[in-house]
Amino acid sequence: MNTQEVIQAESQYILQTYGRAPVVFTQGKGLKLVDADGNEYLDFTSGIAVTALGHSDEEWATAVAAQAHQLTHISNLYHSEPQVRLAQKLVESSFADKVYFCNSGAEANEAAIKFARKYARKEIGDQRLEIGDGLTISNLQSPIAKTKIVAFSGGFHGRTVGALSVTYKEQYRAPFAPLMPDVMFAPFNDLEGARAVIDAQTCAVIVEPVQGEGGVNPATPDFLKGLRQLCDQSGALLIFDEVQCGLGRTGKLWAYQNYSVRPDIMTLAKPLAGGLPMGATLMTQKVADALKPGDHGSTFAAGPLVCTAANVVFDRVNRPEFLEKVRFHGSYLQHRLQTLESDKVTAVRGLGLLVGVELNVPAAPLIAAARERGLILIGAGENVLRFAPALVVDKAEIDTAVDILAQCLE
Ligand SMILES: Cc1ncc(COP(=O)(O)O)c(C=O)c1O
């Protein structure tokens, strides 16, 4: 099929929920992508912060191919070694005691929401036992509602109904109302705004330490520290959505490590298996204690194939010299972008290799112009260009990308 035939067939057969660029990629290596007409591109999106090791990484591809020849899927009715090896690494490298595996970011947040609701229900039950008045009333009929979830302006947590309910953008939510009840939004990076809505009825607060889709906005340390305190005071769980900013993207293994604030639950997905679908919800033991067999599950989650892929990604990213390079290249990228002389650029911000360039013009025409010159970028909202290259990007590739952007801004 040639490019036009693929594009035509897509519009005929595939539900039109995406605004796709008119390009058909057929190959990738490192940060290089090749389209069906043989044109080469420099990929500064890594498939929306997914292919952390770059496209077709040799070690990753060899391990995946070998595992595919050995065993791909068995379901979670049985044990498998790649899964427990990965779980051990995630737990031992983070605040968490237990991990639940799934297949995407939205699913990881769905699990987080369910776990928070169940935890709150158990806690209220325990309190009622302690005060001695709850023995005859089941928790399900409890008059003490602790079901509220607080989320933030600009936050993005996924497209399934639960995750969508805590996603801020009205245009994503409104067509599908009514969504999950008991959600309140507070202004991002505004502790007083958060204080006004986090109370004894709140079972969880969900926040991205660095907002991705919402415009590449890092949280301030005071904001995350303040949320931790508010959660502790109100008995709510603090959920960090690190689906986009986790696993090395910010130059630390976990984004929360930049802030010295630990969550109760953390969700992961995009880079976890280096391009294969995988999500994870990490939690402390007190949260895990509220869950029992049958409470949640997934057919596909964490099969031997994706876990083998994820073990390769984790082992490569979780090295001091790898993370040091991410920090170095992230600073270099931010520095090069900050020195762009254009009256269209109003701000450059980010953490590590998640960097946003805010414009006073729409981002879409610039993204198209960059693509025509061989640079693949994505937006984050209407007027922010998002740079999320593979974590293995080098200085020369950053120079090329920024030079192409400079030409597009002329
Ligand atoms: C912070 C964050 N959470 C959740 C999601 C949803 O992930 P997925 O598309 O894998 O469902 C995304 C996707 O962009 C995200 O950036």
Quote the mean pLDDT of the chain: 95
Mean local confidence (pLDDT), 206-230 = 98
pLDDT of 258-309, one tens digit each? 999 999 999 999 999 999 999 999 999 999 999 999 999 999 999 999 999 9
Mean local confidence (pLDDT), 402-408 = 98
Looking at the predicted structure, is the pLDDT value of residue 130 above 80? Answer: no
**pLDDT value at position 145?**
87
Confidence label for 124 from pLDDT (cuts 50, 70 and 90): confident
Kindly state whether residue 228 falls inside one of the protein's structural domains. Answer: yes
Ligand 1 within 6 A of CB of 156: yes
275 and 326 inside one domain: no
The tokens for 196 are: 């006004």
Contact status, residue 50 vs residue 354, Cβ threshold 8 Å: no
Ligand 1 within 6 A of CB of 244: yes
* Structural domains counted in the chain: 2
The DSSP output letter for 220 is: P
Q: Which of 244, 247, 268 to mutate to test the pocket of ligand 1 (most atoms within 8 A of CB)?
A: 244
Q: How many angstroms separate the alpha carbon of residue 124 from the centre of ligand 1?
A: 31
Distance in angstroms (rounded) separating the CA atoms of residues 12 and 7: 9
Confidence label for 137 from pLDDT (cuts 50, 70 and 90): very low
Quick one: which H or E segment has residue 277? Answer: none
Which amino acid, one-letter code, is at 392?
A: V
The tokens for 151 are: 């989320």
How far, in Å, are 2, 124, 126, 127, 141 from residue 131 at the CA level? 71, 11, 9, 6, 17
Q: How many angstroms separate the alpha carbon of residue 49 from the centre of ligand 1?
A: 10
78 and 49 inside one domain: no
Mind giving me the DSSP string for 118-182?
A: HHHHHHHHHHHHHHT--SSS-GGG-SS---EEEEETT----SSHHHHHT---HHHHGGG-S--SS
Distance in angstroms (rounded) separating the CA atoms of residues 236 and 239: 9
Domain boundary among 317, 334, 356: 317
pLDDT of 153-185, one tens digit each? 999 999 999 999 999 999 999 999 999 999 999
Q: How many angstroms separate the alpha carbon of residue 244 from the centre of ligand 1?
A: 7
Domain boundary among 317, 351, 385: 317
Going by DSSP bridges, is the β-strand pair 279-283/345-351 parallel, antiparallel, or unpaired?
Answer: unpaired
Q: Which of 17, 45, 157 to mutate to test the pocket of ligand 1 (most atoms within 8 A of CB)?
A: 157
Domain membership of residue 211 as a residue range? 67-317
Contact status, residue 337 vs residue 355, Cβ threshold 8 Å: yes
Kindly state whether residue 400 falls inside one of the protein's structural domains. Answer: yes
Kindly state whether residue 62 falls inside one of the protein's structural domains. Answer: no
Question: How far apart are the two ends of the chain, measured CA to CA in Å?
Answer: 36
Confidence label for 125 from pLDDT (cuts 50, 70 and 90): confident
What is the value of pTM for the model shown? 0.96
379 and 288 inside one domain: no
Ligand 1 within 6 A of CB of 217: no
Ligand 1 within 6 A of CB of 208: yes
CATH number, residue 183: 3.40.640.10
**pLDDT value at position 352?**
98
Confidence label for 52 from pLDDT (cuts 50, 70 and 90): very high
Looking at the predicted structure, is the pLDDT value of residue 126 above 70? Answer: no
Looking at the predicted structure, is the pLDDT value of residue 118 above 70? Answer: yes
22 and 148 inside one domain: no
137 and 226 inside one domain: yes
